[in-house]
Structure 1
Amino acid sequence: MAVPTYDKFIEPVLCFLKHHPEGVAAKVVHEGAAELLGLDENQRSELVSSGQLIYKNRSGWAHDRLKRAGLLQSLSRGKWCLTDAGLEWIKNNPFPLSKEQIDHLAFDFIDVRLKTNPDAVKEIRDAIAIDLLENLLQVSYNRFEVIVLDVLHKLGHGGHRDDLQRVGGTGNAGIDGIISLDKLGLERVYVQAKRWQTTVGRPELQAFYGALAGQKAKRGIFITTSGYTAHAIDFAKSVEGLVLIDGKRLVNLMMDNEVGVSSQLIKLPKLDMDYFEQ
Protein backbone atom coordinates (compact mmCIF):
# COMPACT_ATOMS: atom_id res chain seq x y z
CA MET A 1 0.00 0.00 0.00
CA ALA A 2 1.30 3.46 -0.91
CA VAL A 3 2.13 6.07 1.69
CA PRO A 4 -0.91 8.36 2.23
CA THR A 5 -0.87 11.81 0.62
CA TYR A 6 0.23 14.77 2.74
CA ASP A 7 -3.33 15.87 3.54
CA LYS A 8 -3.80 12.58 5.40
CA PHE A 9 -0.94 13.63 7.71
CA ILE A 10 -2.76 16.81 8.79
CA GLU A 11 -4.78 15.18 11.56
CA PRO A 12 -2.05 12.91 12.99
CA VAL A 13 0.44 15.80 13.13
CA LEU A 14 -2.09 17.94 14.99
CA CYS A 15 -3.07 15.08 17.24
CA PHE A 16 0.53 14.27 18.15
CA LEU A 17 1.45 17.90 18.87
CA LYS A 18 -1.66 18.29 21.01
CA HIS A 19 0.06 16.05 23.56
CA HIS A 20 3.32 18.03 23.34
CA PRO A 21 2.27 21.67 23.91
CA GLU A 22 5.83 22.60 24.82
CA GLY A 23 7.03 21.62 21.33
CA VAL A 24 8.97 18.63 20.09
CA ALA A 25 11.63 17.76 17.51
CA ALA A 26 10.32 17.33 13.95
CA LYS A 27 11.79 13.84 13.65
CA VAL A 28 9.72 12.79 16.68
CA VAL A 29 6.58 14.21 15.06
CA HIS A 30 7.33 12.27 11.86
CA GLU A 31 7.47 9.02 13.82
CA GLY A 32 4.41 9.88 15.90
CA ALA A 33 2.34 10.66 12.79
CA ALA A 34 3.51 7.43 11.15
CA GLU A 35 2.41 5.47 14.23
CA LEU A 36 -1.01 7.12 14.27
CA LEU A 37 -1.45 6.32 10.57
CA GLY A 38 -0.36 2.72 11.14
CA LEU A 39 2.41 2.79 8.51
CA ASP A 40 4.27 -0.51 8.16
CA GLU A 41 8.02 -0.95 7.61
CA ASN A 42 7.65 -1.08 3.82
CA GLN A 43 5.77 2.23 3.77
CA ARG A 44 8.35 3.81 6.08
CA SER A 45 11.18 2.76 3.78
CA GLU A 46 9.81 4.28 0.56
CA LEU A 47 11.86 7.14 -0.84
CA VAL A 48 11.20 10.15 -3.05
CA SER A 49 13.57 10.82 -5.94
CA SER A 50 15.73 13.10 -3.77
CA GLY A 51 16.37 10.23 -1.36
CA GLN A 52 14.13 11.52 1.46
CA LEU A 53 11.75 9.11 3.14
CA ILE A 54 8.27 9.66 1.71
CA TYR A 55 6.44 9.63 5.05
CA LYS A 56 8.77 12.34 6.43
CA ASN A 57 8.27 14.35 3.25
CA ARG A 58 4.50 14.12 3.57
CA SER A 59 4.62 14.99 7.26
CA GLY A 60 6.75 18.02 6.35
CA TRP A 61 4.18 19.21 3.80
CA ALA A 62 1.42 18.83 6.40
CA HIS A 63 3.49 20.98 8.76
CA ASP A 64 3.90 23.59 6.01
CA ARG A 65 0.13 23.79 5.43
CA LEU A 66 -0.59 24.04 9.15
CA LYS A 67 1.98 26.82 9.49
CA ARG A 68 0.29 28.71 6.67
CA ALA A 69 -3.03 28.22 8.44
CA GLY A 70 -1.48 29.75 11.56
CA LEU A 71 -1.87 26.62 13.69
CA LEU A 72 1.78 25.53 13.91
CA GLN A 73 5.13 27.27 14.35
CA SER A 74 8.81 26.36 14.42
CA LEU A 75 10.21 27.25 17.84
CA SER A 76 13.70 26.70 16.50
CA ARG A 77 15.29 24.80 13.66
CA GLY A 78 13.72 21.33 13.62
CA LYS A 79 11.35 21.88 16.57
CA TRP A 80 7.60 22.09 15.96
CA CYS A 81 4.91 23.45 18.24
CA LEU A 82 1.24 24.43 18.17
CA THR A 83 0.51 28.16 18.23
CA ASP A 84 -2.04 29.64 20.63
CA ALA A 85 -4.41 29.75 17.66
CA GLY A 86 -3.66 26.07 17.02
CA LEU A 87 -4.46 25.09 20.61
CA GLU A 88 -7.71 27.04 20.39
CA TRP A 89 -8.58 25.46 17.03
CA ILE A 90 -8.12 21.94 18.41
CA LYS A 91 -10.27 22.82 21.41
CA ASN A 92 -13.10 23.91 19.08
CA ASN A 93 -12.59 21.10 16.55
CA PRO A 94 -12.36 17.75 18.37
CA PHE A 95 -10.93 14.67 16.69
CA PRO A 96 -11.66 12.86 14.45
CA LEU A 97 -11.73 15.66 11.88
CA SER A 98 -14.13 15.63 8.98
CA LYS A 99 -12.94 15.53 5.37
CA GLU A 100 -14.10 19.14 4.97
CA GLN A 101 -12.00 20.26 7.94
CA ILE A 102 -8.90 18.47 6.66
CA ASP A 103 -9.35 19.76 3.12
CA HIS A 104 -9.75 23.29 4.48
CA LEU A 105 -6.41 23.09 6.30
CA ALA A 106 -4.63 21.23 3.50
CA PHE A 107 -5.70 23.31 0.51
CA ASP A 108 -7.20 26.68 1.49
CA PHE A 109 -3.98 28.26 2.78
CA ILE A 110 -1.58 27.28 0.00
CA ASP A 111 -1.18 30.88 -1.20
CA VAL A 112 -0.56 32.30 2.27
CA ARG A 113 3.01 33.61 2.42
CA LEU A 114 5.05 32.63 5.45
CA LYS A 115 6.50 35.68 7.19
CA THR A 116 10.21 36.18 7.69
CA ASN A 117 11.12 35.90 11.34
CA PRO A 118 11.59 39.54 12.42
CA ASP A 119 13.77 38.53 15.36
CA ALA A 120 16.20 36.78 13.01
CA VAL A 121 16.38 39.85 10.73
CA LYS A 122 17.00 42.13 13.72
CA GLU A 123 19.73 39.83 15.00
CA ILE A 124 21.53 39.97 11.65
CA ARG A 125 21.21 43.76 11.41
CA ASP A 126 22.48 44.22 14.96
CA ALA A 127 25.52 42.06 14.25
CA ILE A 128 26.30 43.91 10.99
CA ALA A 129 25.84 47.27 12.76
CA ILE A 130 28.50 46.33 15.31
CA ASP A 131 30.91 45.27 12.55
CA LEU A 132 30.28 48.46 10.58
CA LEU A 133 30.94 50.67 13.57
CA GLU A 134 34.16 48.81 14.40
CA ASN A 135 35.36 49.25 10.82
CA LEU A 136 34.48 52.96 10.83
CA LEU A 137 36.63 53.40 13.94
CA GLN A 138 39.57 51.65 12.30
CA VAL A 139 39.69 53.40 8.92
CA SER A 140 41.74 56.57 8.42
CA TYR A 141 40.13 59.96 8.97
CA ASN A 142 40.34 60.64 5.24
CA ARG A 143 38.58 57.38 4.42
CA PHE A 144 35.93 58.02 7.06
CA GLU A 145 35.11 61.40 5.53
CA VAL A 146 34.77 59.79 2.10
CA ILE A 147 32.45 57.11 3.52
CA VAL A 148 30.26 59.78 5.10
CA LEU A 149 29.95 61.61 1.80
CA ASP A 150 29.10 58.34 0.05
CA VAL A 151 26.24 57.80 2.52
CA LEU A 152 24.91 61.30 1.92
CA HIS A 153 25.15 60.78 -1.83
CA LYS A 154 23.08 57.58 -1.55
CA LEU A 155 20.51 59.57 0.42
CA GLY A 156 20.07 61.84 -2.57
CA HIS A 157 22.21 64.76 -1.51
CA GLY A 158 24.04 65.88 -4.63
CA GLY A 159 22.80 64.77 -8.03
CA HIS A 160 26.18 63.37 -9.00
CA ARG A 161 29.11 61.92 -7.06
CA ASP A 162 31.20 64.92 -8.19
CA ASP A 163 28.74 67.21 -6.39
CA LEU A 164 30.18 65.90 -3.11
CA GLN A 165 33.31 67.87 -2.34
CA ARG A 166 35.59 66.65 0.43
CA VAL A 167 37.45 69.42 2.25
CA GLY A 168 39.11 67.91 5.34
CA GLY A 169 42.65 68.63 6.41
CA THR A 170 43.84 71.57 8.49
CA GLY A 171 42.38 75.00 8.18
CA ASN A 172 38.96 73.71 7.23
CA ALA A 173 37.17 75.74 9.91
CA GLY A 174 35.43 72.62 11.22
CA ILE A 175 34.09 71.60 7.82
CA ASP A 176 34.95 68.25 6.25
CA GLY A 177 32.71 68.20 3.19
CA ILE A 178 30.50 70.35 1.02
CA ILE A 179 27.45 69.09 -0.87
CA SER A 180 26.12 71.06 -3.83
CA LEU A 181 22.34 70.80 -4.06
CA ASP A 182 22.14 72.44 -7.49
CA LYS A 183 24.25 72.24 -10.64
CA LEU A 184 25.63 75.75 -10.21
CA GLY A 185 26.69 75.15 -6.63
CA LEU A 186 24.66 78.09 -5.37
CA GLU A 187 23.03 76.08 -2.55
CA ARG A 188 25.26 73.96 -0.40
CA VAL A 189 25.17 71.77 2.71
CA TYR A 190 28.28 71.67 4.87
CA VAL A 191 29.34 68.50 6.67
CA GLN A 192 31.40 67.81 9.79
CA ALA A 193 32.40 64.19 10.41
CA LYS A 194 33.86 63.09 13.76
CA ARG A 195 35.21 59.58 14.15
CA TRP A 196 34.94 59.66 17.94
CA GLN A 197 34.22 57.18 20.71
CA THR A 198 33.40 59.89 23.27
CA THR A 199 30.15 61.82 22.99
CA VAL A 200 30.02 65.11 21.11
CA GLY A 201 29.20 68.05 23.32
CA ARG A 202 27.65 71.47 22.87
CA PRO A 203 31.01 73.26 22.32
CA GLU A 204 31.78 71.17 19.21
CA LEU A 205 28.38 71.94 17.72
CA GLN A 206 28.71 75.63 18.52
CA ALA A 207 32.10 75.71 16.79
CA PHE A 208 30.64 73.97 13.73
CA TYR A 209 27.65 76.29 13.69
CA GLY A 210 30.03 79.23 13.87
CA ALA A 211 31.93 77.83 10.88
CA LEU A 212 28.65 77.61 8.98
CA ALA A 213 27.92 81.24 9.77
CA GLY A 214 31.41 82.16 8.51
CA GLN A 215 30.58 80.48 5.20
CA LYS A 216 27.11 82.08 5.17
CA ALA A 217 25.74 78.54 5.00
CA LYS A 218 22.12 77.77 5.80
CA ARG A 219 22.48 74.03 6.37
CA GLY A 220 24.90 71.76 8.15
CA ILE A 221 25.11 68.05 8.98
CA PHE A 222 27.19 66.90 11.95
CA ILE A 223 28.01 63.19 11.89
CA THR A 224 29.77 61.14 14.54
CA THR A 225 30.46 57.48 15.24
CA SER A 226 29.53 58.05 18.90
CA GLY A 227 26.61 60.09 20.25
CA TYR A 228 25.64 63.52 21.52
CA THR A 229 25.20 64.95 25.00
CA ALA A 230 21.79 66.23 26.04
CA HIS A 231 23.13 69.82 25.91
CA ALA A 232 24.37 69.25 22.35
CA ILE A 233 20.98 67.93 21.25
CA ASP A 234 19.23 70.89 22.89
CA PHE A 235 21.53 73.29 21.04
CA ALA A 236 20.83 71.63 17.67
CA LYS A 237 17.09 71.99 18.31
CA SER A 238 17.49 75.66 19.16
CA VAL A 239 19.06 76.64 15.81
CA GLU A 240 17.95 76.36 12.20
CA GLY A 241 19.40 74.00 9.60
CA LEU A 242 21.57 71.78 11.83
CA VAL A 243 21.07 68.00 11.52
CA LEU A 244 22.72 65.46 13.85
CA ILE A 245 23.56 61.87 12.90
CA ASP A 246 24.99 59.59 15.58
CA GLY A 247 26.81 56.29 15.16
CA LYS A 248 23.70 54.13 15.43
CA ARG A 249 21.86 56.11 12.80
CA LEU A 250 24.93 56.24 10.56
CA VAL A 251 25.40 52.46 10.40
CA ASN A 252 21.66 51.96 9.83
CA LEU A 253 21.82 54.42 6.93
CA MET A 254 24.78 52.44 5.56
CA MET A 255 22.81 49.19 5.72
CA ASP A 256 19.64 50.69 4.27
CA ASN A 257 21.53 52.25 1.36
CA GLU A 258 24.12 49.48 0.86
CA VAL A 259 27.22 51.52 1.64
CA GLY A 260 29.92 49.09 2.76
CA VAL A 261 27.43 46.21 2.78
CA SER A 262 25.60 44.12 0.20
CA SER A 263 22.15 42.56 0.38
CA GLN A 264 21.13 39.08 -0.69
CA LEU A 265 17.71 38.23 -2.07
CA ILE A 266 16.31 34.86 -1.01
CA LYS A 267 14.11 33.02 -3.50
CA LEU A 268 11.08 31.55 -1.76
CA PRO A 269 9.58 28.53 -3.55
CA LYS A 270 5.83 28.28 -4.07
CA LEU A 271 4.21 24.93 -4.71
CA ASP A 272 2.46 24.62 -8.09
CA MET A 273 -0.44 22.29 -7.33
CA ASP A 274 -1.65 22.41 -10.94
CA TYR A 275 1.57 20.69 -11.99
CA PHE A 276 0.83 17.65 -9.83
CA GLU A 277 -2.80 17.42 -10.95
CA GLN A 278 -2.00 17.07 -14.67
Structure 2
Amino acid sequence: MAIPKYFEFFPPIMEVLSDGKIHHFKEVRDYCAKYYSLTDEEQQEMLPSGNRSCVNDRVGWAKTYLKKAGLLVSPARSNYQITELGKDAIKKGVNHITVDFLKQFESFQQFYGRKETVPSSEKSNEVSVDLEQNPQEQMESSMR
Protein backbone atom coordinates (compact mmCIF):
# COMPACT_ATOMS: atom_id res chain seq x y z
CA MET A 1 0.00 0.00 0.00
CA ALA A 2 1.20 3.49 -0.78
CA ILE A 3 1.44 5.87 2.13
CA PRO A 4 -1.78 7.92 2.19
CA LYS A 5 -1.69 11.58 1.18
CA TYR A 6 -1.72 14.13 4.01
CA PHE A 7 -5.45 14.86 3.60
CA GLU A 8 -6.26 11.16 3.82
CA PHE A 9 -5.03 11.29 7.42
CA PHE A 10 -7.84 13.72 8.40
CA PRO A 11 -10.34 10.91 9.25
CA PRO A 12 -8.11 8.86 11.57
CA ILE A 13 -6.81 11.97 13.31
CA MET A 14 -10.32 13.20 14.00
CA GLU A 15 -11.37 9.70 15.04
CA VAL A 16 -8.59 9.29 17.62
CA LEU A 17 -9.24 12.77 19.01
CA SER A 18 -13.02 12.29 19.14
CA ASP A 19 -12.84 11.14 22.78
CA GLY A 20 -12.04 14.73 23.81
CA LYS A 21 -8.81 13.76 25.58
CA ILE A 22 -5.37 15.20 24.92
CA HIS A 23 -3.27 12.93 22.71
CA HIS A 24 0.47 13.13 21.99
CA PHE A 25 1.64 13.26 18.37
CA LYS A 26 3.19 9.79 18.61
CA GLU A 27 -0.13 8.33 19.72
CA VAL A 28 -1.95 10.08 16.87
CA ARG A 29 0.66 8.94 14.33
CA ASP A 30 0.56 5.35 15.62
CA TYR A 31 -3.24 5.35 15.41
CA CYS A 32 -3.05 6.57 11.81
CA ALA A 33 -0.50 3.88 10.91
CA LYS A 34 -2.75 1.21 12.41
CA TYR A 35 -5.85 2.71 10.73
CA TYR A 36 -4.19 2.25 7.33
CA SER A 37 -2.36 -0.98 8.27
CA LEU A 38 0.98 0.55 7.33
CA THR A 39 3.92 -1.82 7.52
CA ASP A 40 7.06 -1.03 9.53
CA GLU A 41 8.84 -0.45 6.22
CA GLU A 42 6.20 2.05 5.10
CA GLN A 43 6.35 3.82 8.45
CA GLN A 44 10.13 4.16 8.16
CA GLU A 45 10.12 5.47 4.57
CA MET A 46 11.89 8.81 4.56
CA LEU A 47 11.24 11.99 2.61
CA PRO A 48 13.77 12.59 -0.19
CA SER A 49 15.48 15.12 2.08
CA GLY A 50 16.03 12.37 4.66
CA ASN A 51 14.96 14.72 7.45
CA ARG A 52 11.86 12.85 8.61
CA SER A 53 9.59 9.96 7.73
CA CYS A 54 6.82 10.40 5.16
CA VAL A 55 4.23 9.25 7.69
CA ASN A 56 5.37 11.74 10.34
CA ASP A 57 5.42 14.49 7.74
CA ARG A 58 1.97 13.75 6.33
CA VAL A 59 0.34 13.27 9.73
CA GLY A 60 2.03 16.48 10.85
CA TRP A 61 0.66 18.45 7.90
CA ALA A 62 -2.80 16.93 8.32
CA LYS A 63 -2.75 17.97 11.95
CA THR A 64 -1.65 21.47 10.95
CA TYR A 65 -4.49 21.82 8.44
CA LEU A 66 -7.06 20.65 11.00
CA LYS A 67 -5.63 22.99 13.62
CA LYS A 68 -5.67 25.98 11.25
CA ALA A 69 -9.35 25.28 10.54
CA GLY A 70 -10.06 25.28 14.27
CA LEU A 71 -11.05 21.60 14.52
CA LEU A 72 -8.29 20.84 17.00
CA VAL A 73 -5.97 22.69 19.36
CA SER A 74 -2.53 22.08 20.76
CA PRO A 75 -2.70 22.70 24.52
CA ALA A 76 1.01 21.80 24.82
CA ARG A 77 3.82 21.06 22.40
CA SER A 78 3.11 17.88 20.39
CA ASN A 79 -0.24 17.38 22.17
CA TYR A 80 -3.61 17.71 20.45
CA GLN A 81 -7.24 17.87 21.46
CA ILE A 82 -10.47 18.18 19.50
CA THR A 83 -12.42 21.45 19.76
CA GLU A 84 -16.19 21.94 19.89
CA LEU A 85 -16.01 22.87 16.22
CA GLY A 86 -14.19 19.59 15.58
CA LYS A 87 -16.83 17.65 17.50
CA ASP A 88 -19.53 19.31 15.38
CA ALA A 89 -17.63 18.40 12.21
CA ILE A 90 -17.35 14.71 13.06
CA LYS A 91 -21.07 14.47 13.80
CA LYS A 92 -21.45 14.43 10.01
CA GLY A 93 -18.84 11.67 9.75
CA VAL A 94 -15.07 11.91 9.66
CA ASN A 95 -14.88 10.99 5.97
CA HIS A 96 -16.48 14.25 4.88
CA ILE A 97 -13.59 16.25 6.37
CA THR A 98 -11.57 17.24 3.32
CA VAL A 99 -9.51 20.24 2.26
CA ASP A 100 -12.63 21.62 0.55
CA PHE A 101 -14.56 21.20 3.81
CA LEU A 102 -11.83 23.08 5.71
CA LYS A 103 -12.03 25.99 3.24
CA GLN A 104 -15.31 27.09 4.83
CA PHE A 105 -13.40 28.31 7.89
CA GLU A 106 -11.94 31.82 7.76
CA SER A 107 -8.86 30.85 9.78
CA PHE A 108 -8.09 28.06 7.33
CA GLN A 109 -8.61 30.34 4.33
CA GLN A 110 -6.01 32.74 5.75
CA PHE A 111 -3.57 29.89 6.29
CA TYR A 112 -4.21 28.13 2.99
CA GLY A 113 -3.99 31.35 1.00
CA ARG A 114 -4.75 29.81 -2.38
CA LYS A 115 -7.05 31.86 -4.51
CA GLU A 116 -8.82 30.43 -7.53
CA THR A 117 -7.49 32.72 -10.25
CA VAL A 118 -7.47 30.30 -13.20
CA PRO A 119 -10.82 29.00 -14.45
CA SER A 120 -11.17 25.30 -13.71
CA SER A 121 -11.51 24.55 -17.44
CA GLU A 122 -8.00 25.95 -17.99
CA LYS A 123 -6.28 24.11 -15.14
CA SER A 124 -3.89 21.33 -16.07
CA ASN A 125 -3.79 17.95 -14.35
CA GLU A 126 -0.46 18.98 -12.86
CA VAL A 127 -2.15 21.64 -10.72
CA SER A 128 -4.49 19.11 -9.11
CA VAL A 129 -1.59 16.74 -8.43
CA ASP A 130 0.33 19.56 -6.72
CA LEU A 131 -2.66 20.23 -4.48
CA GLU A 132 -2.50 16.63 -3.29
CA GLN A 133 0.99 17.22 -1.94
CA ASN A 134 1.66 18.95 1.35
CA PRO A 135 3.86 22.06 1.22
CA GLN A 136 7.02 20.10 2.12
CA GLU A 137 6.41 17.61 -0.69
CA GLN A 138 5.69 20.42 -3.16
CA MET A 139 9.00 22.07 -2.28
CA GLU A 140 10.96 18.84 -2.59
CA SER A 141 9.29 17.98 -5.91
CA SER A 142 10.18 21.38 -7.34
CA MET A 143 13.85 20.85 -6.45
CA ARG A 144 14.15 17.65 -8.52
Q: Do both proteins adopt the same fold according to a TM-score greater than 0.5, normalized to the shorter chain?
A: yes
1:57-76 to 2 correspondences below 5 Å: 57-76=57-76
Task: Specify every segment of 5 or more residues in structure 1 that has no aligned partner in the other structure, as ranges.
Answer: 115-270
Q: Which amino acid aligns with 2:42?
A: Q
1:32 equivalent in structure 2? 31
Contact 1:7 1:106 in 2 (8 A): no
1:157-172 to 2 correspondences below 5 Å: none
One of 105, 109, 112 as aligned partner of 2:110: 112
What secondary structure sits across from 1:112 in the alignment? helix
Contact 1:65 1:105 in 2 (8 A): no
| Count of equivalent residues | 117
| TM-score of the superposed pair, with normalisation by structure 1 | 0.37
1:10 equivalent in structure 2? 10
* Inter-CA distance 61–67: structure 2 relative to 1 (3 Å threshold): same
Per-residue displacement from partner, 1:95-150 (whole Å, max 9, x unpaired)? 4x14xx42324667764249xxxxxxxxxxxxxxxxxxxxxxxxxxxxxxxxxxxx
Identical-residue share of aligned pairs (%): 26
* Inter-CA distance 47–276: structure 2 relative to 1 (3 Å threshold): closer
1:102 equivalent in structure 2? 98
Higher relative contact order (CA 8 A, sep 6+): 2
Matches of 1:73 and 1:84 in 2, distance apart? Answer: 10
Task: Specify every segment of 5 or more residues in structure 2 that has no aligned partner in the other structure, as ranges.
Answer: 113-134
Matches of 1:81 and 1:105 in 2, distance apart? Answer: 19
Per-residue displacement from partner, 1:52-99 (whole Å, max 9, x unpaired)? 1111110000001101111011010110111111112212x124x14x
Matches of 2:51 and 2:104 in 1, distance apart? Answer: 29
Per-residue displacement from partner, 1:238-267 (whole Å, max 9, x unpaired)? xxxxxxxxxxxxxxxxxxxxxxxxxxxxxx
| TM-score of the superposed pair, with normalisation by structure 2 | 0.68
Task: Flag the structure with larger Rg.
Answer: 1
Structure 1 residue 8: Cα displacement: 0.8
Matches of 1:63 and 1:83 in 2, distance apart? Answer: 13
